[in-house]
Amino acid sequence: MEVKIWSDVRCPFCYIGKRKFEAALEQFPEKDKVKITWKSFQLDPTLETRADMNSIDYFVEAKGVSKEQARQMFSRATQMAKEVGLDFNLEDSVLANSFRAHKLIQMAKSEGLGDEIEEALFKAHFEDAKNIDYPEVLVEIAASIGMDAAEVKQMLESDDFNYEVKQDEMEARNIGVTGVPFFVFDDRYAVSGAQPTEAFLQTLEKAMNDKQ
């Protein structure tokens, strides 16, 4: 069974959803028969990377809310993250366009390292406050999971994997995905958002039962 997951590495609920799905997978007796395919999705392709602006200030500017309201929203997301074992540092997270990160995800997928790069990028952005649009940072992250630093640097300077990112986003549009995380089980069932672990487990069981 294949589970396709559309996500953006600058989406906090995608990281939380990843943990909840993983918890469901751990409880699933036939987890060894599940193949996970990560799919690219940019929440805001036009976002300009601003290393001088933190996410709180951007949220205030973009959403028209007060700093206090923004902090309350961030606090709720941080609490949700804590419940699944994640230690978010949202206030210091760097405002960064995620296109280059998605190119790296596509390259990692081609080397069988999709899960590893997703985890490393999420952690870098949400816990370590690293700029996931800087090539130097991306090369460092890639090397940490065993990818060739020189090859990654060369890829980021080229158009390689641009097409694959765009294809994933087009596929998402074609099936009506408007937000992430979005999970598709064997092209039959979908779960949208960081749903409870039980919801993922029930969908895994339903999809597997259909195959038998």
Confidence at residue 51, expressed as pLDDT on a 0 to 100 scale: 87
Confidence at residue 59, expressed as pLDDT on a 0 to 100 scale: 87
Q: Are 93 and 55 in contact (CB under 8 A)?
A: yes
Structure tokens at 147: 């990818």
Confidence at residue 5, expressed as pLDDT on a 0 to 100 scale: 98
Instruction: Provide the mean pLDDT of the chain.
Output: 96
Q: Residue 37 above 90 pLDDT?
A: yes
pLDDT digits 0-9 by tens, 46-84: 999 998 888 888 889 988 999 999 999 999 999 999 999
Q: What is the mean pLDDT of residues 144-172?
A: 98
Confidence at residue 106, expressed as pLDDT on a 0 to 100 scale: 98
Picking from 76, 47, 74, 49, the residue whose alpha carbon sits closest to that of residue 62 is 47
Q: Are 42 and 102 in contact (CB under 8 A)?
A: yes
Confidence at residue 56, expressed as pLDDT on a 0 to 100 scale: 86
Q: Residue 212 above 80 pLDDT?
A: no
Domains of the chain plus CATH, in order, are: 2-211 (3.40.30.10)
